Amino acid sequence: MYLVNGKEYNCSVAIVQDIFNDKWKLGIIWHLLAGEKRYKELFEEVKEITQKTLTVKLRELEEKQLIAREVFPEIPPKVVYSLTPIGERLRPLLKEMYDWGIDYVQACGEFSTEEGCALTCKDENLGKNE
Amino acid sequence: MYLVNGKEYNCSVAIVQDIFNDKWKLGIIWHLLAGEKRYKELFEEVKEITQKTLTVKLRELEEKQLIAREVFPEIPPKVVYSLTPIGERLRPLLKEMYDWGIDYVQACGEFSTEEGCALTCKDENLGKNE
DNA sequence: CTGCATCCTACATGATACTG
DNA sequence: CAGTATCATGTAGGATGCAG
């Protein structure tokens, strides 16, 4: 039994389920795996997301301590988001998702090309150790 | 670029995101990793789920070819659900979620005990090779 | 036992405009 | 640039009852 963020979980998998049960957090983490990003960069790279939703999801990720937010007191404003250690620790999980997705396409897909991954996080980043 | 189940994806991670972006599918897979199950067993083991939702989610998983459904022509009816090969292939992913969840509790949790995992899928099942 | 049919509601997300 | 503020909406999921 676990108590995290004020919630009880019977299984650690349920924590992951709960955190990432939305349309956007996984994609945001994915992009941050390639390195820290400004708000605008994320807004451009996470396809189709709205500003409001991006802000909401960034706040949630920050509250869950998966990302860090650094504000630079400049004009115009500059805010940089980066992964915390436990956020960075998601890399092997995302890598597993990436790999399973490929296998799933092989098994059940109708079509695939090698035209790169719009989520910009290439293999070299996925496997990166710092 | 991938085309799966009539949808386009730019990244294989997005496929995983799309499939498991709900409250229940992950838990159902988790329980099936411990072995094939009857409808009623799943209904009892997947805590809090309603019959309607269980049925809906089982249909979705079957449509996506992650589970197989076998009907025994008996009275009363007997239906058994099991993982397909590509469904079974989710095991390492679930294992990674399990492990990351543990680490997350260490990093951000307020409390934890070793009182087992209500999702019944023990480590020996998680690591199983058949 | 294994579902399906209805009805209902909350919440995540979208669209759009505005601000320091 | 990095957000808020409003308003609107679709759909996942819950509650309940019925059926073969």
Model pLDDT, residue B51: 98
Average pLDDT over residues A119-128: 54
Report how far residue B34's alpha carbon sits from residue B49's, in angstroms, rounded to the nearest whole number.
19
Nucleotides on chain C that have an atom closer than 7 A to a protein CB are 1-6, 12-17, 20
- pTM check: above 0.95: no
Instruction: List, for residues B76-124, the tens digit of each pLDDT value.
Output: 999 999 999 999 999 999 999 999 999 999 999 988 886 666 554 555 5
Which of B48, B56, B58, B53 minimizes the C-alpha distance to B28? B58
Q: What is the full DSSP assignment across B86-97?
A: HHHTTHHHHHHH
Q: Do A86 and B107 touch (CB under 8 A)?
A: yes
Domain A23-127 has CATH 3.30.365.10: no
Q: How far is the CA of A75 from the C1' of D12 (A)?
A: 43
CA distances from B28 to A82, B66, B94 (A): 33, 11, 12
* Nucleotide with C1' nearest the B79 CA: C2
- The pLDDT score that the predictor gives to residue B125 is 59
In tens, the pLDDT along B2-56 reads 999 999 999 999 999 999 999 999 999 999 999 999 999 999 999 999 999 999 9
